[in-house]
Structure 1
Amino acid sequence: MPASASTVFRNLLPPEGAAHVVESPEGPVYYLDIGSGEPLLLVSAFGPQPGSTAWLLYREALEILARSRRCIVVELTNYGHTGPVTFHEPAHDVCVRAVVRVLDHLGLDRVAAVGTSMGATTCLDLALQHPERVERLVIGACHASTGGDPYLLAPFPSEVWNLHQASQADPHDRGKLRQLLRALWFDGDLVTDDLLDEILAFRTEHMDHWAAGAHSVSVPHSNVAALPEITVPVLVVHGRHDRMVPFEQALMIMSHLPQADVVVLNRCGHWPPMERPEEFARLVLEFVRGAEKGQR
């Protein structure tokens, strides 16, 4: 079992008893199981690798969601505790396998799936590869495809991507990590010295995950032409100030999914569940409750 939450990792690790591991041929898959009620799948996000844990992203939103839902939160391969895995294929395919292993382990046949950033693209891939497993999708801050999709207005690669590459090349550099996080999120005050200490310590303890990511090759794969195959209800939640994935990507996804609605959250960067947790949780709950009322 992973270490329980402590003073050192209070921002990165959940309370004791919330974290679990499924063993697989590709190594351990880490997930949180919090709350009770109808199951809700959540998948974590792109960020410092390693260091982008499920608890860091969702902890405040989970306080609300877990009051009425059983929240199953899967960490992306190599970003938190899941892995390490070295691969040569679309990165999201690796993450889909991890998600399916957790669903199978828990005996969950069909769920509403929620994801942000790379976790959202993983949820899209899950809906395309295993359509029978997904009843609704809440996504955002994402590209549709592994490797990204063309931008019409924004520069590519994005500012955050360039800062991420610089931080990954020097994973113990405090200044580069600070620059990355301040660009990743709208509110620079979230980037505290304590949080930097925690992420750097976590990275030091999980350098095998960093090495696996550094030696992996994510093969680009476009999902754009396949998006209309997704027929379940979709909600896209995107930060107005996302400097990793520009808002035009939300519009692109909506243009290929006529059933999708888009919500833009102001004063919000690449991680809506962290920066606007109350609004994010409210949107998710209203959307998934629509399934219970038979709404599309």
Structure 2
Amino acid sequence: MPKIVDVFEMLPPDDIRHTISTPEGILHYQEVGSGAPVLLIHSFGPQPGVTAWMIFRNVLLELSKVRRCIALDMPNFGLSGPVLYDEPFHDVVVRSALSLLDHLSLDRVPVVGTSMGATVALDLAIKAPDRVRGLIVGSCHASTGGDPYLLGPFPSEVQRLFDEAQLDPADCAHTRRLLKALVYDESLITESMLEAIQAFRTSHLDHWKAVAQSTSRSHSNLADLSAIDVPMKIIHGRFDRMVPFEQALMLMSYVRHADVTILNQCGHWPAFERPVTFTAIVEEWLDNNGW
């Protein structure tokens, strides 16, 4: 069982932190462990107060015992960026991920993505199928700008809270409401975690300004999903208030070889909220595929 570390750690130890310069700006990533590589792309949340380490750290502590784990901070999140764009944001992150894979001389890897990172993973598999060995995704839309829902309201509750929180990154009350809506177990959102995220946000206002000055163009990937032919696993929280779990079923209907696991008592951040279960699913899936 992985050791659960204090939730207020925003950044990993210095010895596993790295940066590279790319056309998409400075990219920050963490690399830990050895063996077969796997790329992890983190979730949506208060921007820029979400990092790959914050979302995946407990997963990385266990997964890195047997694998080389590479976790990317998406542009304008964490320590990546700032960068301006006027195009689908997920396309920006796809190019960033490819730049990172090229830098590390990695031809083809399995990709684990949650939320916004999962949409990036799907986009990556569509645009550069020769670089993706397999996919674990979930808590996501397939498309930049979202996909139509059958039952859930659009925009979702959390999307509205995110928009409010982005108006003023120094507003602690809005950040608190957003964070508590992202998880099922609100006790995970401690005051120390909130303070750390607020401090991070206000010390990286150049990232916040870059997003405010950029435009993410909507683009649907639904028609291209059926072309994905690599192994695919979908993990989604039953109580996701950002992306309702009906989206997991929608993805499965387009990618007919994909399997779905719905985690009960779990919100939009399965890797953060249910790290033991999430890690076990990832490890079993990688092992079953011989990676």
The root-mean-square deviation of aligned C-alpha atoms, in Å, is 1.3
Counterpart of 1:197?
Answer: 195
- 1:188 and 1:35 map into 2 onto residues whose CA distance is 31
Counterpart of 1:114?
Answer: 112
Q: Is the 8 A contact 2:169 2:201 kept in 1?
A: yes
- Flag structure 2 segments of 5+ consecutive residues without an equivalent: 1-5
- 2:117 and 2:23 map into 1 onto residues whose CA distance is 21
Q: How does 1:137-156 map to 2 (within 5 A)?
A: 137-156=135-154
- 1:207 and 1:143 map into 2 onto residues whose CA distance is 27
- 1:193 and 1:273 map into 2 onto residues whose CA distance is 20
Counterpart of 2:286?
Answer: 288
Counterpart of 1:26?
Answer: 24
**CA positional deviation for 1:290:** 1.7
**CA positional deviation for 1:286:** 0.8
Equivalent residue of 1:197, what SS?
helix
Counterpart of 1:39?
Answer: 37
- 2:246 and 2:101 map into 1 onto residues whose CA distance is 32
- 1:162 and 1:49 map into 2 onto residues whose CA distance is 14
Counterpart of 1:232?
Answer: 230
Q: Is the 8 A contact 2:24 2:95 kept in 1?
A: no
Q: TM-score, normalised by structure 2?
A: 0.96
State how many pairs are aligned: 286
Counterpart of 2:204?
Answer: 206
Q: Is the 8 A contact 1:22 1:101 kept in 2?
A: no
**CA positional deviation for 1:26:** 2.7
Question: Aligned to 1:162, which of 157, 160, 163?
Answer: 160
Counterpart of 2:3?
Answer: none
Report the more deviating stretch, 225-234 or 19-28: 19-28
Q: How does 1:260-275 map to 2 (within 5 A)?
A: 260-275=258-273
Question: Aligned to 1:243, which of 241, 244, 255?
Answer: 241
**CA positional deviation for 1:215:** 1.1
Amino acid at match of 2:229: T
**CA positional deviation for 1:76:** 1.1
Q: Is the 8 A contact 1:88 1:218 kept in 2?
A: yes
- 1:25 and 1:110 map into 2 onto residues whose CA distance is 21
Counterpart of 1:5?
Answer: none
**CA positional deviation for 1:275:** 0.6
Q: Is the 8 A contact 1:31 1:73 kept in 2?
A: yes
- 1:78 and 1:248 map into 2 onto residues whose CA distance is 29
Q: Is the 8 A contact 1:35 1:70 kept in 2?
A: yes
- Flag structure 1 segments of 5+ consecutive residues without an equivalent: 1-7
Amino acid at match of 1:232: V
Counterpart of 1:52?
Answer: 50
